[in-house]
Structure 1
């Protein structure tokens, strides 16, 4: 298997500044830690008077011992790009998120090897076998957490990361699952996904990584064996076992397990959520509803239980209850993955491996110094594109409702379930002599709230509207949402001593809308407005037989916008326009979904070959999502047919070989349909 090229980030003036920056950042790490740092010191072959520091990041290297990390450093001593310098020493830094230590291996070339660890205060500690076990497990979990899903978003986030597959054979799998079993009940120390309020035994980065591994590779039997053993020590592990059984199509066994386990732990919210998901997937909405309600009762402070209940209401087309449930979701500040904060390098070398060269990927790409694509201001300020964590999931639920019933009907239901500002003012006018004061207090609080948060879409629109009459007319087709009264306003303390809205006849059955949900409505309005303008303009241009021109980046943004709003065909159309200008992994990933829906194996493989080559071009030999798609194709079509279609593609052989490597991995793991 050919290894990706080695990116080189240079520090010519201050050697080891990057290592020092990593040491300083240790006390601020909250998640799995940043990718591993590999730092080399080079000097000219002819003289030893001037040394240069060169580094890159890496994931997926076996971190089970100092020897395995030193072996990786030794693979870097020869560089085909730099024949005038030699590597004289190297440092490999790998974060242990269990013990909050940075494990380090210093290699002198030729000669000695020293391993130790650095704590959050920057002090040296002894590296023990127990610490290496923890570090190894963290290394595998990071490889999955930091992998790119094919869209290129993760790759663009950190410059110069080599991504390797941490588990390439059954022997390595055994080592990984053994470490996971031994450290399983310490998993909650690793934090959890941003949607989880409190990490617990079954919801943390270790369990997320295990489930991701099992789903990607299809190694269900290994997963079932692991969770069966762990379940004997804690019945709560049943929810994880049930999820793997469902993945493996062992549904009868999964249902029996969930039933039996809930006799022992009737208020285990993870099990109840499993049941709700299963029933919903089978079209049993009413049964799913009962399970989801119990899960909320069991874990009222968790976002996932409320979100599942809202999802079930959406499936049952009970739109008012879906909105009210969404309004009850506890929202958490998004905690991003730990990323390296490095000093400014003197220069960066990003070489291309000849095996990943593909003309259609490189043609039309902006060169260094070229101006960026023009992007219209209205497309730049679509807030929904930056949503993460709980806000992303809540927004997705809101867009599902809008897609199902339309914007006007959504606004109507919103005004039926939430107290609107206008009716609040009118009711207070009839209920208290201080109507004018209270109305002004609503305004004051409302606007202060807006100033402290992100500016509302309509404010930004007024500040940057430079669009023509056509755009305004198209945008007017979407009704602007009225303001609701936020709970923060009513409870602000600047109201009358007894403003109890329960006594207001007009809205005694209504709720106060949370400010964050009110903002989501405004963001959805802006998304729909821009989408409507785009579709109207395109229709007008088509009528006049004029080409509708956008830059590649604008088409990519429009594709994402359509996808967010569940307009699948329009999203594909935008992505295809983007790809006609130049290659974009995000657009190709979007088009791949179309081929998936059509079960078009040939076109799917054509997209996958290009995505795998692009990933390799940016130093990533491993993407769990792309491996999963290859595995599913092999399962459905058989390995011989998949390999034949890949081989028959009119692309350079080295590029095809990169996809064959993914197929070979499926054979190594004896995936269903593989000829291994």
Structure 2
């Protein structure tokens, strides 16, 4: 299998990329950035002329200095030949060890020696030991999965010039990986965790997430079950991971039994309770009868409710409880619980902080040549996009806010926007009613010791403790709400113009809930009475972030309604509705956020009819998977694999998982035949054959032998 091409970023000052990486070590908080490969090149004709080039990389074997030195040698060999104008005289490989917070480095002089050392956060050199290399190797594998692209190209576009390799290509490397994971498993919390987990622990961290991703991608469930069985003897908490793996491998009875036995010993382990709730919720969604669905939801509610008691500061437990209430169609409780979710600031992955390169060289391998893909970059940057589509704030949501927004959009899809607003006004104290009640009671009663937050709004968490927000964060969220309102007002203005022209129907703009800070201020100033409070006795204060989410959802719905009505008008008049590919891509993402699947597919197909878009094709691929359309799935995967390889990524866990699932359902022989039967060039087809060969190497279900 041919290796991806090598991108090159040329330094303005030699070694400036290495210095920048050293300076950034103190600010790293997660798994660290991708590995850095730096080469010093010397002109063949004028040896005094040297340049520094670099690129980033993931998935290289970082188990020892020898393996990294060997990799650098493979890069230098590419420069040799009769037509070479430069030769590599030095190479440096940098790989971050997130356990010990050290940057492991291997310096190769050509010809000459190999030196390995590590650099700490202060920039001081330290000796590289075998224990440090073990940590570094495990970090490199987890980072390869963490920084892998899902096929959509979103990850690839974040960092320029990253080569991505598969860190585990056979059973031998799998054994080394799992052995390292077993030795360092109970230090995994040191690596941090996903942004929706407040406090990393033994079973919720980047290491466990990487392990689960690996087992799901490759289908090597037996190896994972064996690993977690051994680790469970040391700590019963690992039962939650074992159960998740058993559920993935369709051994549900064993998984339920594992959780049942473990919860006898740790009845308040929130991860196990949440795992139970998630399992029961999925069972309810696929239940054959209403009675079975109700029973599953009843049990899921008990587990989810108990998990919020066990971990009140974790977002995931509250979000799961809200999802259960949504499935039960208990809208008021769903909104109340969503309001109680503790929200965290999103912490993105560590990315390289590099100075502006003097030159950028992004070569293309002949093996990745495909006309529809090659034309994508040129057309992409010449497209005009409606500013209203660019300003949709929901598209930027990540972490806890993205998940909370997803729950809110699910409610809107099921009951409609108007009904959601009515429930909102039933659950929360609205600004207009608060002011009305306040005016009616002014002067009727003197100050009392009772306050809105402790009496009239019983059960409402203190707004400063719910989500553990500081005053500064409160101000930021309030600013977001005002910004969202402003953006929505702008969209509203455009919509009104459309209506005048016979355009879309209106979407009711949500009124504001009362600011918790104002209620608190009024209470402190003695401006409330018992009569006033009694009328709002069963209502709660809405968190500022949730109020902002309603405004953002209104903004999305408004733009969506305009689009769909305009489409209907053009269709009625037998006219073509024109948008640029970028606009179609944004509209597809908008419909997808609002959970309108058919409309999203329509927009994405319109985008692909104009130019290639990995994001659009990835979303359509998910539809093909759900509908079991094997040939369409294969055709989409071939194009996505080629696009990934075009941008130096030979490894995407999601695309490998799609191929593996196809082979399990249809058999390896049939899938290979479908791949080969496409009318695409053989060099492109071979790239996808490589993924199928990986499944055979791991002896996945459906492969020969």
Normalized against structure 2, the TM-score is what? 0.91
**Do residues 193 (structure 1) and 203 (structure 2) align?**
no
**Do residues 361 (structure 1) and 373 (structure 2) align?**
yes
Correspondence for 2:456:
none
Correspondence for 1:387:
397
Q: Deviations over 1:370-394 (max 9, x none)?
A: 8531111110110000000000000
Correspondence for 1:458:
485
Correspondence for 1:400:
410
Using the TM superposition, give the Cα deviation of residue 456 of structure 1 relative to its aligned residue in structure 2, in angstroms: 3.0
Query: Which region of structure 1 is more displaced relative to structure 2, 469-478 or 647-656?
Result: 469-478
Using the TM superposition, give the Cα deviation of residue 453 of structure 1 relative to its aligned residue in structure 2, in angstroms: 3.2
Select 2:363's aligned residue among 351, 357, 363: 351
Query: Which region of structure 1 is more displaced relative to structure 2, 517-526 or 478-487?
Result: 478-487
Contact kept? 1:77, 1:86, Cα under 8 Å: yes
Contact kept? 1:501, 1:508, Cα under 8 Å: no
The 2-side partners of 1:41 and 1:207 are apart by: 38
SS at 1:673 equivalent: coil
Query: Which region of structure 1 is more displaced relative to structure 2, 17-26 or 538-547?
Result: 538-547
The correspondence of residues 395-544 of structure 1 with structure 2, limited to 5 A, is 395-433=405-443, 452-453=479-480, 455-462=482-489, 465=493, 469-470=497-498, 474=503, 477-492=506-521, 495-497=524-526, 499=528, 504-544=533-573
**Do residues 118 (structure 1) and 107 (structure 2) align?**
no
The correspondence of residues 173-322 of structure 1 with structure 2, limited to 5 A, is 173-283=174-284, 284-322=296-334
The 1-side partners of 2:307 and 2:489 are apart by: 44
Change (3 A) 1:365 1:502: farther
Correspondence for 1:442:
none
The 2-side partners of 1:448 and 1:19 are apart by: 39
SS at 1:267 equivalent: coil
SS at 2:156 equivalent: helix
Change (3 A) 1:44 1:321: same
Correspondence for 2:64:
65
The 2-side partners of 1:111 and 1:2 are apart by: 28
Using the TM superposition, give the Cα deviation of residue 468 of structure 1 relative to its aligned residue in structure 2, in angstroms: 7.2
Select 1:331's aligned residue among 343, 347, 350: 343
The 1-side partners of 2:141 and 2:346 are apart by: 23
The 1-side partners of 2:487 and 2:570 are apart by: 27
The 2-side partners of 1:467 and 1:535 are apart by: 12
Q: Which 4+ residue blocks in structure 1 deviate beyond 6 angstroms?
A: 447-451
Correspondence for 1:628:
657
SS at 1:52 equivalent: strand
SS at 2:75 equivalent: coil
Change (3 A) 1:588 1:521: same
Contact kept? 1:486, 1:515, Cα under 8 Å: yes
The 2-side partners of 1:128 and 1:69 are apart by: 15
Using the TM superposition, give the Cα deviation of residue 487 of structure 1 relative to its aligned residue in structure 2, in angstroms: 2.3
Using the TM superposition, give the Cα deviation of residue 434 of structure 1 relative to its aligned residue in structure 2, in angstroms: 10
Using the TM superposition, give the Cα deviation of residue 547 of structure 1 relative to its aligned residue in structure 2, in angstroms: 1.0
Contact kept? 1:163, 1:621, Cα under 8 Å: yes
Question: What is the number of residues matched between the two proteins?
Answer: 666
Correspondence for 1:592:
621
The 2-side partners of 1:267 and 1:361 are apart by: 52
Correspondence for 2:85:
84
Contact kept? 2:240, 2:275, Cα under 8 Å: yes
Correspondence for 1:22:
21
Using the TM superposition, give the Cα deviation of residue 486 of structure 1 relative to its aligned residue in structure 2, in angstroms: 3.0
Structure 2 unaligned spans of 5+: 285-295, 446-450, 452-471
SS at 1:37 equivalent: strand
Correspondence for 2:157:
156
Contact kept? 1:471, 1:533, Cα under 8 Å: no
**Do residues 638 (structure 1) and 667 (structure 2) align?**
yes
Using the TM superposition, give the Cα deviation of residue 527 of structure 1 relative to its aligned residue in structure 2, in angstroms: 0.3
The correspondence of residues 101-140 of structure 1 with structure 2, limited to 5 A, is 101-140=102-141
The 2-side partners of 1:80 and 1:577 are apart by: 44
Correspondence for 2:462:
none
Structure 1 unaligned spans of 5+: 439-444
**Do residues 578 (structure 1) and 607 (structure 2) align?**
yes
Correspondence for 1:441:
none
Using the TM superposition, give the Cα deviation of residue 495 of structure 1 relative to its aligned residue in structure 2, in angstroms: 4.9
Using the TM superposition, give the Cα deviation of residue 65 of structure 1 relative to its aligned residue in structure 2, in angstroms: 0.2
Change (3 A) 1:451 1:237: closer
Using the TM superposition, give the Cα deviation of residue 631 of structure 1 relative to its aligned residue in structure 2, in angstroms: 0.4
Contact kept? 1:474, 1:532, Cα under 8 Å: no
Correspondence for 1:2:
2
Using the TM superposition, give the Cα deviation of residue 498 of structure 1 relative to its aligned residue in structure 2, in angstroms: 6.5
SS at 2:167 equivalent: coil
Change (3 A) 1:21 1:242: same
Contact kept? 1:148, 1:154, Cα under 8 Å: yes
Q: Deviations over 1:403-449 (max 9, x none)?
A: 001001100111110110011111112233399xx9xxxxxx9x977
Q: Deviations over 1:335-393 (max 9, x none)?
A: 000000000100100000111111111235426xx853111111011000000000000
Q: Deviations over 1:58-109 (max 9, x none)?
A: 0000100001111111111134698210000010000000000000000001
The 2-side partners of 1:272 and 1:194 are apart by: 20
Using the TM superposition, give the Cα deviation of residue 458 of structure 1 relative to its aligned residue in structure 2, in angstroms: 3.5
Correspondence for 2:36:
37
Contact kept? 1:21, 1:341, Cα under 8 Å: yes
Correspondence for 2:460:
none
Q: Deviations over 1:95-130 (max 9, x none)?
A: 000000000000001111000000000000000000
Query: Which region of structure 1 is more displaced relative to structure 2, 462-471 or 268-277?
Result: 462-471
